[in-house]
């Protein structure tokens, strides 16, 4: 048959070739290089008990918003309002916690402050999405408008209610509210407990904390006690959101609709995919991710200010692209975005572990890998669409 011989012209690939051609391979290689490089350059400090906690914290922050941005980009749209949405959500929550619920509804519990804020941000996400799909305008320009609008509204809101553009010294809600604890507290204590236990076993064998290079210090502080108690709760949300995103994209009908919407929305529509609802839903998802980012920050630090989340939308998009997401939509990898978040997070923190380097190199690095990633992604797109 004519057609079957055509199909057989596609070369059979070995597993190695398949792995090398995966979209996340570039992000993976860069990540491994950064991890190994940082390990040596920081003399292991970047991954000792406290270093790992701090690195995971920033990786999770980047990761949460990058996953939202990536899902939306796969559906063919951008959201430049993520950073301002973080500021807005942080303002909303901290003001409610400090001054009480709106309309004199009394004291705000952490849950009420979070829930009301989430209702507002999801509403904003819905509104942004609706404007984009109804007007047919580029989401770039619509969300740019909301970048300014929300940042301005955040600052105005702070001044009107609080007289100052920052809130500090909030009560430490995570102490007695399990809800706040799950956003701003420390979780996965068992990991650090186990690390400490292992460290103590080697101390008993005669290896001092400083000699335990193989356990990276064994989670023991100078006084011989357990050093770090757990990871930031953000880590949990990063894991939850990335697993949910992976599951939705690869295993569900909604995932198929997201890919179809971003690839060729007319074809998707012709086959009955509710393109507009998919897009609006994903604008709400980025708003959700921004709200989680802000909530973790507010309940962790008990502070908030009008500049929070500045430039985060650009980091989110950069990480999504580094992870193999196409700017034109229709293609992307959640695993790649996770690798990208790890890479960018580690490099942004590197200056704390290698004090002799200038912290500004971080942006030089991000710019470089972003450009490299765009070229690599373009090759992937050509390979897939170029066809025979």
Partner 1 sequence: MTEPYMRVENLVKQFGPFTALGGVDLEVYPGEVHALLGDNGAGKSTLIKNLAGVHQPSSGQIYIEGKPVNFRSPRDASNAGIGTVYQDLALNPLMSVTRNFFMGRELKGMFGTLRMDEMNQIAHDEMLTIGIDFSDPTQAVGTMSGGQRQTLAIARAIYFGAKVLILDEPTSALGQRQQMGVLKTMMRVRSRGDIAIIFITHNEIHSKLVADRFTFLSLGKVIGQGTRETLEGGEIRRLMAGGAELGDLAKELADIG
CB of 253 to partner 1, least distance (A): 4
Nearer to partner 1, 58 or 282 (CB): 282
Enumerate residues 6+ apart whose C-beta is below 8 A from 86: 65, 290, 291, 293, 294, 297, 308, 309, 312
CB of 216 to partner 1, least distance (A): 40
Structure tokens that stand for 133 in this block: 């799909």
CB of 312 to partner 1, least distance (A): 28
CB of 272 to partner 1, least distance (A): 4
Q: How far is CA 369 from CA 43, 188, 237, 311, in A?
A: 24, 32, 26, 18
Nearer to partner 1, 76 or 87 (CB): 76
CB of 9 to partner 1, least distance (A): 9
Enumerate residues 6+ apart whose C-beta is below 8 A from 360: none
Residues that bind partner 1 (CB under 8 A): 1-4, 6-7, 10, 251-257, 259-260, 263-264, 266-268, 270-273, 326, 330-331, 381, 384-388
Nearer to partner 1, 11 or 222 (CB): 11
Which residue is associated with the tokens 């590197």? 350
Nearer to partner 1, 32 or 240 (CB): 240
Q: How far apart are CA 379 and CA 373, in angstroms?
A: 10
Nearer to partner 1, 7 or 160 (CB): 7
Q: Which of 119, 112, 130 is nearest to 88 (CA)?
A: 119
Enumerate residues 6+ apart whose C-beta is below 8 A from 171: 97, 302
């Amino acid at each position: 048959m004519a057609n079957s011989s055509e199909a057989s012209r596609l070369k059979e690939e070995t597993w190695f070739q398949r792995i090398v051609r995966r979209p996340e391979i570039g992000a993976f290689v860069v990540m491994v290089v950064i991890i190994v490089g940082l390990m040596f350059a920081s003399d292991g400090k970047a991954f000792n008990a406290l270093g790992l906690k701090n690195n995971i914290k920033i990786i999770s922050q980047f990761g949460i918003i990058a996953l939202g941005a990536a899902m939306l980009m796969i559906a063919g749209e951008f959201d430049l309002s993520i950073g301002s949405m973080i500021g807005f959500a942080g303002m909303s929550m901290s003001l409610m916690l400090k001054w009480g619920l709106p309309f004199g509804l009394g004291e705000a519990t952490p849950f009420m402050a979070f829930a009301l804020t989430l209702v507002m941000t999801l509403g904003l996400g819905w509104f942004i999405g609706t404007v984009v799909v109804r007007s047919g305008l580029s989401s770039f320009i619509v969300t740019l408008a909301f970048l300014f609008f929300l940042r301005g509204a955040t600052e105005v809101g702070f001044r009107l209610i609080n007289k100052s553009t920052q809130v500090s010294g909030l009560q430490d809600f995570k102490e007695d509210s399990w809800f706040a604890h799950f956003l701003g507290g420390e979780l996965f204590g068992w990991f650090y407990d186990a690390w400490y236990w292992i460290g103590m076993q080697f101390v008993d064998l005669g290896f001092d904390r400083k000699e335990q290079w193989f356990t990276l210090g064994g989670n023991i502080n100078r006084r011989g006690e357990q050093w770090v108690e757990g990871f930031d709760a953000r880590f949990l949300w990063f894991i939850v959101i990335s697993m949910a995103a992976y599951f939705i994209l690869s295993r569900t009908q909604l995932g198929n609709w997201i890919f179809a919407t971003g690839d060729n929305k007319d074809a998707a529509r012709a086959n009955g995919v509710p393109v507009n609802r998919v897009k609006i839903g994903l604008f709400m998802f980025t708003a959700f991710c921004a709200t989680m980012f802000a909530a973790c920050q507010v309940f962790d630090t008990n502070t908030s200010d009008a500049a929070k989340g500045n430039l985060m939308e650009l980091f989110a998009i950069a990480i999504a692209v580094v992870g193999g997401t196409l700017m034109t939509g229709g293609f992307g990898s959640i695993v790649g975005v996770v690798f990208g978040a790890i890479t960018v997070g580690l490099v942004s923190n590197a200056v704390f572990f290698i004090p002799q380097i200038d912290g500004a190199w971080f942006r030089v690095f991000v710019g470089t890998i972003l450009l490299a990633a765009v070229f690599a992604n373009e090759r992937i797109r050509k390979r897939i669409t170029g066809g025979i």
